[in-house]
Structure 1
Amino acid sequence: MELLHCRSVADVVAAVKSGRRLVPRGGGHCFVDRTSAADVVLDLSGLHTIAVAHDGVATIGAGALLGQVYGELHNVGRALPAGCGPTVGIAGLTLGGGIGLVGRKYGLTCDRLVGAQVVLADGSVVECDADREPDLFWALRGAGGGQFGVVTEFRFKTIAEPMMTRIAADWAAPNPMEIAQAWQVWAPDAPDDLTLNLTVDGAQAVLIGASLLPLEPTRALLAEFTSLAGTAVPFVLHADVPLSEVKASFADATPSETAEMHSEFFDQPLTGELAGRMAFTAMGGAYNRVATDATAFAHRNERFLLESPAAYANGSGHVYPNFPDLTLADGPTAYHGVNLARLRAVKQVYDPDRFFDFPQAV
């Protein structure tokens, strides 16, 4: 298998026109190996430039990593709602959705996408947005990872970088099940300005989050959660921290790369005992105020995302596309739900010969 480093769009076009089966790699990482059926891994890490226009639209190369993106945007007072891991690629994150600490306020990363440049299976280069190639643009926002073409450049409508209250707690909880139950009731319905995520591993409970509110209103909201949990929670709060610094401080809290991870969305509290290390990510807020069919990301009515070594019978059956799971009986349906039929129609238009293909592709 050949690793081909691309420094320009012309390099990508040449690789596609060679006719060899390829898998694009934006420079970050993936939870599964999609290279087994490929002749070439297209390394896009050389396409990493970032430019921000006066209107706040950021043009970002497909090889940029989140650490670079946050740093460059911070330098001009801008930001994007996205994940915490500095080595995560902006391309893969965006094309599969993009959940983060300010997403309950500002939506998914893909919800901020306003345009993209794509090399198609025939080697042609197209610009897509709401007016140009609108079906392709729709598909890229939540189902675009290596399925319809090679995205070489993204255009995002950024936000002014907010000052945040950083939230953390790490302790041996006497009642981890009660903590988890309280979190499931409270966190998805918290005000959009506050995100609080929970990891439980045996008796150890870890809460990380961020608030767009000042210190005292944040403290008052967290007191509601503490009261519901029925136990003292040793919250440590730091006010007036730029979003980019909050993200960097939680870099080690991002999921580890493992094919053994199971993830599923829940639209109701889970049933059953806690099993092993379980990570709960709050949904709701702005995530759920977008129509299910407005973008390819179909999971707009969920309360939380659970990462766990075990499956639970009362999950919604929906799986985050950025956490692919090769053990799924029907991956495309789990990832894309009611949007799958339209995605297959878009695939037929833009890649009828399935040049871009991998296990569980639409």
Structure 2
Amino acid sequence: MLHCRTVEDVVAAIKSGDRVIPRGGGHCFVDRRSPGDVLLDLTGLNTIEVRADGVATIGAGALLGQVYDALHAAGRGLPAGCGETVGIAGLTLGGGIGLIGRRYGLTCDRLLGAQVVLADGTVVDCDASCEPDLFWALRGAGGGQFGVVTSLRFDTVPEPITTRISATWVPRDPEVLVAVWQAWAPDAPDDLTLNLTIDGPRAILVGASLLPVEPTQALLAEFADLVGTPVPFELRAGMPLSAVKASFGEAMPDERPRIRSEFFEQSLSDDVLGALIGGGRLAFTAMGGAYNRIAADATAFAHRNQRFLLETANERSWSIAHADGSGRVYPNFPDLSLTDGPAAYHGENLGRLRAVKQAYDPDRFFNFPQAV
């Protein structure tokens, strides 16, 4: 492993001729190294600068906890995930789903530009007008595909004051709960996100609202009425976004979890739901809102008409749900068991991504299973 603290360190590593695999937070679900590959630890590239106009330049090795703290100090926020030890670069390059994304979009939708070291050691800055094809590809295709990203520039948002939402209980009828959630959560107002996990007999709801407390309570009451039984919501109002993120953060497991996931354009059928419940842990993430108001080819992230994302570590559960799935998979949840990973990750954007790959890395110096 090589520890990089400067862009020059990255250039030197690439020019050594050994194939390199960049690593930020180290949360990738699969090990993409082959024998002889050199792992580039980018966590030393963690500087964060926030201008008065809200543009933030963030080193590729910065972790989300560091990013949220620095942005909070400047009164700014960024739609991104909750894991404080997740790296900003990997999250962004594969999309970036989070608690305020239904209002502000994916993390990659807020990306203004990036600095990248290419396979020949050249350092380029890309944005919508300079190296636009490379910039397009970096917004959602997944990390390590075209070069080593060393810094990213974001259009941040004023840090919202947020209401934290949570509930944990044993529902009387989990099938009804999931059926209501999948019909309601993706169509809720953009300012409210409510995600659902079924874990054995327990149901867990987590979310955030940018609305005042009273309309938030009214919306959650509407949801509970549809479920037909009380839902023990706990609300904590007046929290900065950074505090909400920290409260929901999860530590990285000692071993890489094997996650199978899929996006869904439509609700699971009653038959699928009946077979699915009780078969293993299921995590449902609401899409819709700002995620889906961007054209599928505007960025490399192709999944712009999906209602929700389902994750499970149970092979049988995935096989059951797959019958109703879109065949699309979140690039940040790589799955080596897919028969055609690139098509699942990138959809109709795959052809353009392969053209960008040919233009910027024709010898496939940056390569791993399921790369474009």
| TM-score of the superposed pair, with normalisation by structure 1 | 0.97
The answer to whether the aligner puts 1:48 opposite 2:58 as a matched pair is no
Look up the SS of the partner of 1:181 in the other structure.
helix
The answer to whether the aligner puts 1:285 opposite 2:283 as a matched pair is no
Partners of 2:164 and 2:287 in 1: CA distance:
18
Match of 1:294 among 281, 291, 298: 298
Question: Relative to structure 1, is the Cα distance of residues 356 and 294 closer, same or farther in structure 2, using a 3 angstrom cutoff?
Answer: same
Matches within 5 A, 1:1-362: 3-252=1-250, 258-271=256-269, 272=272, 273=275, 274=277, 275-308=279-312, 309=314, 310-311=317-318, 312=321, 313-362=323-372
Question: Relative to structure 1, is the Cα distance of residues 254 and 203 closer, same or farther in structure 2, using a 3 angstrom cutoff?
Answer: farther
Partners of 2:142 and 2:309 in 1: CA distance:
20
Question: Relative to structure 1, is the Cα distance of residues 257 and 242 closer, same or farther in structure 2, using a 3 angstrom cutoff?
Answer: farther
1:142-199 superposed Cα distances (whole Å, 9 cap, x missing partner): 0140010000000000000000011000011111111111000000000000000000
Q: What is the letter of the counterpart of residue 279 of structure 1?
A: A
Look up the SS of the partner of 2:124 in the other structure.
strand
Structure 2, unmatched stretches of 5+, are none
Question: Relative to structure 1, is the Cα distance of residues 254 and 22 closer, same or farther in structure 2, using a 3 angstrom cutoff?
Answer: closer
Tell me which stretches of 4 or more aligned residues in structure 1 moved more than 3 Å. 253-259
Aligned length: 360
Partners of 1:260 and 1:95 in 2: CA distance:
20
1:181-220 superposed Cα distances (whole Å, 9 cap, x missing partner): 1000000000000000000012200000000011111000
1:260 deviates by: 2.6
1:39 deviates by: 2.2
Look up the SS of the partner of 1:238 in the other structure.
strand
* 1:116 and 1:154 in contact (8 A); partners too: yes
Partners of 1:329 and 1:230 in 2: CA distance:
41
Partners of 1:281 and 1:255 in 2: CA distance:
20
* 1:174 and 1:203 in contact (8 A); partners too: no
Question: Relative to structure 1, is the Cα distance of residues 328 and 176 closer, same or farther in structure 2, using a 3 angstrom cutoff?
Answer: same
Q: What is the letter of the counterpart of residue 326 of structure 2?
A: S
The share of aligned pairs that are identical, in percent, is 73
Instruction: Give me the CA root mean square deviation.
Output: 1.3
Partners of 1:132 and 1:21 in 2: CA distance:
27
Structure 1, unmatched stretches of 5+, are none
* 2:85 and 2:252 in contact (8 A); partners too: no
* 1:4 and 1:41 in contact (8 A); partners too: yes
Q: What is the letter of the counterpart of residue 288 of structure 1?
A: N
Partners of 1:242 and 1:103 in 2: CA distance:
16
* 2:24 and 2:62 in contact (8 A); partners too: yes
Q: What is the letter of the counterpart of residue 281 of structure 2?
A: R
* 1:22 and 1:39 in contact (8 A); partners too: yes
| TM-score of the superposed pair, with normalisation by structure 2 | 0.95
Partners of 2:327 and 2:7 in 1: CA distance:
38
Partners of 1:193 and 1:320 in 2: CA distance:
23
Q: What is the letter of the counterpart of residue 328 of structure 2?
A: H
1:116-145 superposed Cα distances (whole Å, 9 cap, x missing partner): 000000100000000000000000000140
